[in-house]
Amino acid sequence: MLAKLYSVTLEGIEGIICEVEVHITRGGFEKSLIVGLPDTAVKESTERVQSAVTNSGYIYPKTKSVINLAPADVKKAGPAFDLPIALGVLLSTNAIESSVIKDFVIVGELALDGRVRPVNGILSMAIAAKANGFKNMIVPLENVREAAVVEELEVFGVGSLTQAASFLAGNLSLESTYVDIDKLLEGASNYDVDFADVKGQETVKRALTIAAAGGHNILMIGPPGSGKTMLAQRLATILPKLTLTESLETTRIYSSAGQLDGKSLMATRPVRTPHHTATGAALVGGGSNPRCGELSLAHNGILFLDEFAEFPRHVLEMIRQPLEDRKVTVSRAKGTISFPANFMLVSATNPCPCGAQLTMMN
């Protein structure tokens, strides 16, 4: 029997709706085959799904099964397909019946005992679901508040495969999650530090205030201990508050990178401080499955480069183009992906040994 349901994959930070087709044959060898450009994490899902289905009290088919992830020309990455594949297996074997499953987008990683684990990039997935006309989405419990930020989308959190199957079969009632975005932004918009902590240094503070007001990049030159790092770390507190649009953009980046740390929404401007030994790929991003780097993680915030003179020249040259274009473009043989990178560059360095005093250059 053939079962069809919907899930999402990420390409950069953009979500792409995928159709998950599960076909169980009546005969043949015990084998599960996943097609549709799956990466290693997706291929390994067959082992997780088999254990999760069995440990949840269902019977996993011992005949050949084919799982197709469409569109077939888009690379599928990550464990988010575990839950939809498992539900497809249950539908194909008539273990459950559901007339509403075509209305849901389903994502989630499965543990071997059937628990549903959180996945990265839920906000981008929820935005893609809404953009493609879906009204309902099933996500892991830990991700439910992040997905619920998207308006006009009913988001249901599940903690296990059994719970998801019972809900779709109509045997369990779940309530969708609602998030008050304005209240969430207001409550999470406080910084741990403040620009008012800095005493003295009036000239430097005025220069930073002017730079913040105009969105200018700035270089601080001064001896060790003069307060360059302390000033840079507190500069974000005098920048304007994040708007909802900026907050969603920043949250999508951190969610896809797995750096939200339990937050539902990024409400403060990020301050990224990469070490001067960081590689160009770490700053700009890249990889076989392109991921965002420090420039994109600093989007709508501050990129602070301490010991500026210690950064290799070729690394600094890689920053020049994103500074002008406000985005990072990663080109690979399979295609080109762009990441947003609209940040304020703040750098600091020590003066020459001649004993130059603290100065500012804009």
Number of domains within the chain: 2
Look at 76 and 188; give whichever has higher pLDDT: 76
Contacts of 213 (CB under 8 A, 6+ apart): none
* Cα 303 to Cα 299: distance, rounded to the nearest angstrom: 9
* Cα 137 to Cα 125: distance, rounded to the nearest angstrom: 10
Q: Indicate whether 271 and 197 sit together in one domain.
A: yes
Nearest alpha carbon to residue 346 among 296, 307, 315: 307
CATH at 88: 3.30.230.10
Residue-range definition of the domain harbouring residue 297 = 187-361
* Cα 5 to Cα 102: distance, rounded to the nearest angstrom: 6
pLDDT of residue 361: 41
Give the model's confidence band at 85: pLDDT under 50 very low, under 70 low, under 90 confident, else very high. Answer: very high
Q: Indicate whether 259 and 136 sit together in one domain.
A: no
Residue 178 lies in a domain: no
Whether residue 47 is predicted with pLDDT greater than 70 in this model: the reply is yes
Q: Indicate whether 151 and 221 sit together in one domain.
A: no
CATH at 225: 3.40.50.300
Q: Indicate whether 247 and 336 sit together in one domain.
A: yes
**Among 168, 199, 224, where does a domain finish?**
168
Over residues 268-293, mean pLDDT: 89
DSSP element (H, E) containing 2: strand 2-11
pLDDT of residue 269: 95
Give the model's confidence band at 360: pLDDT under 50 very low, under 70 low, under 90 confident, else very high. Answer: very low
Residue 174 lies in a domain: no
**Among 168, 202, 235, where does a domain finish?**
168
Whether residue 10 is predicted with pLDDT greater than 50 in this model: the reply is yes
Q: What is the DSSP string of 273-333?
A: ---TT--HHHHHEETTTTEE-HHHHTTTSEEEESSGGGS-HHHHHHHHHHHHHSEEEEEET
Percentage of residues of the chain with pLDDT beyond 70 = 95
pLDDT of residue 28: 55
* Cα 302 to Cα 315: distance, rounded to the nearest angstrom: 18
Residue 182 lies in a domain: no
Q: Indicate whether 120 and 212 sit together in one domain.
A: no
Over residues 337-351, mean pLDDT: 92
Q: Indicate whether 51 and 158 sit together in one domain.
A: yes
Residue 179 lies in a domain: no
Contacts of 173 (CB under 8 A, 6+ apart): 167
Whether residue 29 is predicted with pLDDT greater than 70 in this model: the reply is no
Q: Are 42 and 74 in contact (CB under 8 A)?
A: no
Over residues 67-95, mean pLDDT: 94
Contacts of 347 (CB under 8 A, 6+ apart): 217, 218, 219, 220, 304, 305, 306, 308
pLDDT of residue 30: 64
Whether residue 190 is predicted with pLDDT greater than 90 in this model: the reply is no
Residue 216 lies in a domain: yes
**Which of left, alpha, beta for 17 (phi over 0: left; psi -120 to 50: alpha)?**
beta
Q: Indicate whether 86 and 208 sit together in one domain.
A: no
Q: Indicate whether 129 and 217 sit together in one domain.
A: no
Over residues 24-43, mean pLDDT: 82
Q: Indicate whether 73 and 123 sit together in one domain.
A: yes
Residue 180 lies in a domain: no
Mean pLDDT of the chain: 90
Nearest alpha carbon to residue 328 among 283, 288, 287, 289: 283
Give the model's confidence band at 322: pLDDT under 50 very low, under 70 low, under 90 confident, else very high. Answer: very high
Contacts of 139 (CB under 8 A, 6+ apart): 107, 108, 122, 125, 126, 147, 155, 156, 157, 158
Over residues 332-347, mean pLDDT: 87
pLDDT of residue 358: 44
Over residues 128-156, mean pLDDT: 95
**Tens digit of pLDDT for each residue in 163-184?**
999 999 999 999 999 988 888 8
Over residues 87-103, mean pLDDT: 94
Over residues 35-49, mean pLDDT: 92
Which residues, in sequence order, are bridge partners of residue 38? 76
Q: Indicate whether 136 and 205 sit together in one domain.
A: no
